[in-house]
Amino acid sequence: MPGRELARVETERGELVLREREDALGAVVELRANGLFVMDTRETSTERVLATASLALVADPRRVMVGGLGLGFTAREVLADPRVHRCCVVEIEPTLVEWMRQGTVPHGPAVLADERLDVVVADVAAAVREAGPASYDLLLLDVDNGPANLVHQANAALYEEPFLGAVAAMLRPGGAVAVWSAAPAPELEAALRRVLGEAASAAHPVDLQGREELYWLIGGRTTV
Find out whether 215 and 188 touch, Cβ atoms under 8 Å. no
The one-letter amino acid code at 32 reads: R
Find out whether 194 and 161 touch, Cβ atoms under 8 Å. yes
Find out whether 98 and 70 touch, Cβ atoms under 8 Å. no
The one-letter amino acid code at 90 reads: V
Helix (H) and strand (E) counts in the chain: 7, 11
Q: What are the residues whose beta carbons fall under 8 Å from the beta carbon of 208, sequence distance 6 or more? A: 43, 45, 46
**Residues that are catalytic:** 142
The one-letter amino acid code at 87 reads: C
Q: How far is the first Cα of the chain from the last one, in angstroms, to the nearest whole number?
A: 52
CA-nearest of 108, 66, 91, 112 to 13 is 91
Cα 72 from Cα 194, distance rounded (Å): 32
